[in-house]
């Protein structure tokens, strides 16, 4: 049985995040106080390809890792000898990218004789909210990102149960594919969101509700519906109302996300509903979810934009849950591209 080992001591965790195309290193105090959070994005590198190229992503991590790590420590105003533990994203993610961060974190932990903590990437997104406010349990988290769309029941601190997931495209992937179909740049989410805000009329599109009681999601159909509108316009020689189509797509995706998240929060007696992941930066989603939570009286927690996308501070916040219980990871840990969130859950104290 795990026990709390904090004893009121100061805990400084240096965390590394390289699950996809951001190289990030952060130093966080006691799981909530961000001393530094350096993020190096590769968006400009991958934009020419219309998406992330795994081999290029891992090479870029190698090129920037040492510099980002040094910058994070310097900005935090601490010395390496002051650190308490080293954390790193263990998965899920691109295996090549994960390995770069893991090797760097292992080397630092070994050299400084510090505990190593492997962290689940989605646990990090969920606990990004703990960096800005106190969490109340039980809670439900809506995870919306480029690679994940999930509903997670968190019954107590660090105890996760997956209650819904996408069966095909994640919502962020759907945004990128829809943007590509409309000739918008990569990454597509911000461009579709901006167009939707500017629309004077909506091209209505279907919703994919799936089975009546299901908390799962499906976005491949709505993507196909957008493609059908674009192709029909081309065949007729018409000009597509891109703003109206963006609004129709966004309303369809957001309607399903918000409705299922609110239903889950009610069913599981959630004290809070959390929004997390890169798509949490979407203005349309934030506004609709906030409005729905105000109407139903369910408190909503949404991290600031800087903590929505991949960053190492969120990894440190999740790692603190493990550190408090002395649940450390051996130095022979491997990258886990298909890591299970439920299996990563902390042991009960």
What's the CA dihedral at 325, 329, 335, 340 to 10 degrees?
-30
- What average pLDDT does range 129-149 have in this prediction? 94
Domain count, the chain: 2
pLDDT surpassing 60 at residue 2: no
How many CB atoms within 10 Å of residue 141?
29
Higher pLDDT, 46 or 275: 275
4 domain residue, yes or no: no
250 and 290 in a single domain? The answer is yes
- What average pLDDT does range 280-296 have in this prediction? 95
92 domain residue, yes or no: yes
269 and 154 in a single domain? The answer is yes
- What average pLDDT does range 124-139 have in this prediction? 97
pLDDT surpassing 50 at residue 1: no
Query: What is the reported pLDDT for 206?
Result: 93
User: 């009329």: which residue's tokens?
Assistant: 201
Q: Per-residue confidence at 42, pLDDT binned at 50, 70, 90?
A: confident
- What average pLDDT does range 317-324 have in this prediction? 98
295 and 197 in a single domain? The answer is yes
CATH number (domain holding residue 55): 3.30.420.40
Strands (E), the chain: 12-17, 22-29, 33-41, 85-91, 116-120, 139-144, 149-156, 159-165, 272-276, 300-301
């Amino acid at each position: 049985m795990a026990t709390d080992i904090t004893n009121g001591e100061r805990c400084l965790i240096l965390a590394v995040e390289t699950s996809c195309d951001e190289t990030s290193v952060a130093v966080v105090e006691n799981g909530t106080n961000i001393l530094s959070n350096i993020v190096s994005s590769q968006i400009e590198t991958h934009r020419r390809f219309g998406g992330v190229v795994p081999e290029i992503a891992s090479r870029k991590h190698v090129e920037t890792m040492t510099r980002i790590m040094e910058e994070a420590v310097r900005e935090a105003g601490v010395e390496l000898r002051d650190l308490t533990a080293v954390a790193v994203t263990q998965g899920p993610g691109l295996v090549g990218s994960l390995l770069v961060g893991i090797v760097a974190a292992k080397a630092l932990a070994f050299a400084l004789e510090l505990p190593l903590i492997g962290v689940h990437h989605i646990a990090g997104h969920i606990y990004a909210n703990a960096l800005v406010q106190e969490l109340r349990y039980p809670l439900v988290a809506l995870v919306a990102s480029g690679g994940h769309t999930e509903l997670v029941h968190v019954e107590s601190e660090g105890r996760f149960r997956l209650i819904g997931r996408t069966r095909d495209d994640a919502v962020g992937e759907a945004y990128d594919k829809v943007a590509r179909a409309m000739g918008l740049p990569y990454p597509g989410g911000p461009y579709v969101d901006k167009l939707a805000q500017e629309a004077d009329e909506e091209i209505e599109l279907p919703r994919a509700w799936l089975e009546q009681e299901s908390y799962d999601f499906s976005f491949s159909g709505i993507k196909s519906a957008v493609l059908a509108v674009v192709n029909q316009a081309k065949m007729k020689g018409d000009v597509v109302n891109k703003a109206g189509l963006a609004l129709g797509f966004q309303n369809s995706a957001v309607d399903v996300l918000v409705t299922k998240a609110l239903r889950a929060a009610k069913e599981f007696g959630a004290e809070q509903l959390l929004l997390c992941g890169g798509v949490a930066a979407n203005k349309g989603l934030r506004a609709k979810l906030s409005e729905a939570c105000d109407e139903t009286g369910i408190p909503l927690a949404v991290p600031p934009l800087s903590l929505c996308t991949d960053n190492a501070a969120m990894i440190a916040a999740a790692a603190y849950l493990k550190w408090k219980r002395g649940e450390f990871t051996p130095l022979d840990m491997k990258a886990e591209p298909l890591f299970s969130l439920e299996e990563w859950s902390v042991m009960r104290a």
